[in-house]
């Protein structure tokens, strides 16, 4: 592998690592944490860097933090205008009518 291609590969690996090490990725669960540290290790090996900074596991994984639950109707109201909801209901009714024997 020539030097230019090697530098491109390291740059690509760094970009992937930056994404994986962003908040919300690396601290989502143990798998994502391990993946981030594995990418950090891969870069350290390729760059012959023994001073790599690894990520410490958080006290609580993001996946374990309860997220608010929403009623489906509440979500639909925020996603669509009232006119769009009425058209959607009309369309659903027309589809249902096709299948009623």
Q: What's the pLDDT tens digit per position in 55-87?
A: 999 999 999 888 777 666 666 566 666 676 677
Residue 83 burial (10 A CB sphere; 0-12, 13-18, 19+): exposed
Better pLDDT: 72 or 22: 22
Rounded to 5 degrees, what angle do the CA atoms 21, 24, 25 make? 45
Domain ranges for the chain, please list them.
Answer: 3-64, 68-101
Helix spans in 1-101 (H): 3-20, 30-46, 72-79, 82-99
Better pLDDT: 26 or 82: 26
Rounded to two decimals, what is the model's pTM?
0.64
């Amino acid at each position: 592998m020539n030097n230019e291609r090697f530098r491109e590969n390291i740059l690509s690996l760094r970009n992937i690592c930056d994404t994986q090490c962003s908040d919300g990725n690396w601290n989502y669960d143990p798998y994502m944490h391990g993946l981030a540290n594995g990418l950090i290790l891969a870069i350290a090996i390729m760059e012959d860097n023994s001073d790599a900074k690894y990520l410490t596991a958080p006290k609580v994984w993001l996946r374990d933090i309860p997220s608010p639950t929403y009623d489906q109707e509440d979500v639909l109201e925020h996603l669509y205008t009232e006119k769009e909801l009425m058209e959607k209901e009309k369309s659903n009714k027309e589809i249902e009518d096709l299948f009623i024997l």
